[in-house]
Structure formats: C-alpha cells, structure tokens
Structure 1
Amino acid sequence: MRGAVTVHMKAAPEKVWGLVSDVTRIGEFSPETFEAEWTDGATGPEAGAHFRGHVKRNGVGPVYWTNCKVITCEPGSDFGFAVYAAGQRANTWRYQLRERDGGTDVTESYELGTHPALRLYGLVLGPLRGRTNLRGMRQTLERIKAVVEVGS
C-alpha cells in the first residue's frame, strides 16, 4: 500500500526543506502527529537520526508514540523516515522537493512495510486508510505551504 500527494509552493526548496525536515514542528502541520522529538542524542535531521512521534490516529485516537529513523536526508531535495512498530519497519514517509517555475513541487508519500501482518492490514483496511492518508498528506502540505509562502 502506498500513495503520494504533490503541492506546488512559491518558495525555494531550501526553505521548504527546513520545515519538512524539522520533526519538532510536525504538530503545526499534520492532522495526526501532534508532536515529535529527537531521541538517542539526535538534535536535527541527518541520516540515521532517531526521533519519536506522538500520534492521534485519525485525529481522534488511539493516541500512541512511534519510533522513527531518518533514512533519507538530502538538504533541499529529500527527507524520508521509517516508522517502526515491534522492531519492524511499519511505514516509510518521504518528502521530495523539486524546483519548478520559481517555486517547489513538494511530494509527500508513504509506503506500508512488507511484514505479512501489514500486507493483510493493507488488503483489509487499505482502501479506507489510503484515503485517510491522502487527505492527511494534502492537509499537511497545504499547512506547510501557508507557512512557507508568507513573505515570499
């Protein structure tokens, strides 16, 4: 199960990247993850850095923490992280930035892990969860756009 949403923003890729890679600001943008913090000595985005996110599933609950690891960190172009559950990669989220028409196309995407339980989840609840993810990604990107375009 996977999906992606792209929104054009009237801002330089470096400016957008500064927001999408600062996990401590996710609560301003995401409809589900209302806070995050760097862990295990990490203080900012870099490949291999760990953080945890505080999630309110579907915006209503349940509420839980997720452990995450930065897997892609290319300033100005790509920020991705894996979400872990029970020691397994459950999901991968990614923000890819491409300069276009004096601004930036920002694509947020997700891909569910390959564990058999996740594949079953994808088959049973995938269509519903997929729609929720797409709606949430669009909302996240539109909120980032509102912040990053101020003063541009």
Structure 2
Amino acid sequence: MEWTGQVYADTPTVASRLFVDAPPERIWRYVSDIHVMPRLSGELREVVWLDGVTGPGIGHRFEGRSAHPSMGEWTTVSTVIELEAPRRFGWAVGDPEAPSSTWRFALRSEGSGTVLEQWARMGPGRSGLSLAIEAMPDKEQKIVFVRLREFEAGIEANLAAIKDLAEAEK
C-alpha cells in the first residue's frame, strides 16, 4: 500500500487479497465464524455472541476482547452489517452509524478456487487511536501510518491462515 499522508478523519482503508485453492463455501465457514479469528489474530483474544444469538445475521452483535503491547487491553462490541453467504461478511466496531473501524471479508469464485479479500477501514468514530492522536496531534500521520501497517500485517496473516485451513481440507 502506498502512503498518502492520510489522517484519521480521512477514514483510511487497507485491504489485501489472495487466491485460495478451495470453493467459497469451504472458506465461508472460516470467515463467518467469529470464533476462528482469535486463533489467527495477534490482538483479538476472545469473542462471544451477544443477545442470545449463536451465529451471524444482519444486526447481530458480538463482543471482542483485544490486547496490544502499547495500547493495553480493551473490549468492543461489533455489529454485523454485511452478510451474503458465501460472498460477504462485514462488521462495524462500536456504533454502526459511526464505527471506530469497519471490517469485511469478500469471496469471489475464480477458476477452481476463490479470491479471498479482507478489508478494514479506520473511523470515522472514536477509538483508542483517537486518544493517542489527541495526546500528540503533531504525530497524527505517523500514528495512523503505524496502525494501518499493523492492520495490514494482521490482514495478511489472517488470509494466509484461512488459506492454510481451507486448503488442508482437501
């Protein structure tokens, strides 16, 4: 990704994709199961569905507990905002109208397999990053840049792990 000098208010976005030698339906089981992500993520530690639901649906909410060496531990509530099996699964962190971040998996059949993409957008709502920016406004671009690189590294690790899981099922 090329750095464009974005600031948090610009709702910067990162995405990565790769080819998985598996059909979308097989990959869908991994991307739509929120309990898989803590096994793959360096930050996300635990997730639980809220409100008595046990799986994804538009408007369904889940709580995530995360940790980061420089930001400590925190808990968020996310809401499923996109669900089109086996093509799209997306959620907003915090207020769905002004999320602190938005995340999405997209799957597209290609030849004998699937192109799997994960996408993330920061903002426009407040997050822990907002506190860091307010404490050091002159370093906003650097703070955003570093966090985007962390998002990007996490996305690439997630995609590689999902690829390994889906392809191992053959």
TM (normalized to structure 1)? Answer: 0.88
Are the structure 2 counterparts of residues 151 and 73 from structure 1 closer, same or farther at C-alpha, using a change threshold of 3 Å? same
State the alpha-carbon separation in 1 of the partners of residues 126 and 105 from structure 2: 26
Number of residue pairs the alignment of both structures matches: 149
How do residues 1-150 of structure 1 correspond to structure 2 at under 5 angstroms? Answer: 1-57=12-68, 62-84=72-94, 88-115=98-125, 118=130, 121=133, 123-150=141-168
The CA deviation at 1:131 is: 0.8
Question: 4+ residue runs of structure 1 moved beyond 3 angstroms?
Answer: 115-118, 120-124
Task: Report if the CA contact (8 A) 2:16-2:156 is conserved.
Answer: yes
Secondary structure of the corresponding residue to residue 23 of structure 1: coil
Structure whose CA Rg is larger = 2
State the alpha-carbon separation in 2 of the partners of residues 35 and 83 from structure 1: 15
State the alpha-carbon separation in 1 of the partners of residues 47 and 32 from structure 2: 12
State the alpha-carbon separation in 2 of the partners of residues 131 and 72 from structure 1: 25
The answer to which structure has the higher strand fraction is 1
Secondary structure of the corresponding residue to residue 92 of structure 1: strand
Q: Which runs of 5+ in 2 are unaligned?
A: 1-11, 134-139
State the alpha-carbon separation in 2 of the partners of residues 151 and 65 from structure 1: 33
The CA deviation at 1:65 is: 1.3
State the alpha-carbon separation in 2 of the partners of residues 42 and 93 from structure 1: 20
The CA deviation at 1:74 is: 0.5
Are the structure 2 counterparts of residues 25 and 115 from structure 1 closer, same or farther at C-alpha, using a change threshold of 3 Å? closer
User: Residues 111-137 of structure 1, C-alpha deviation per residue, up to 9 Å, x if partnerless?
Assistant: 11224785x946451111111111110
TM (normalized to structure 2)? Answer: 0.80
Task: Report if the CA contact (8 A) 1:95-1:107 is conserved.
Answer: yes
User: Residues 65-97 of structure 1, C-alpha deviation per residue, up to 9 Å, x if partnerless?
Assistant: 110000001111000000017x95100000000
Task: Report if the CA contact (8 A) 1:31-1:140 is conserved.
Answer: no
The letter for the 2-side match of 1:80 is G
Aligned sequence identity (%): 29
Task: Report if the CA contact (8 A) 2:13-2:120 is conserved.
Answer: yes
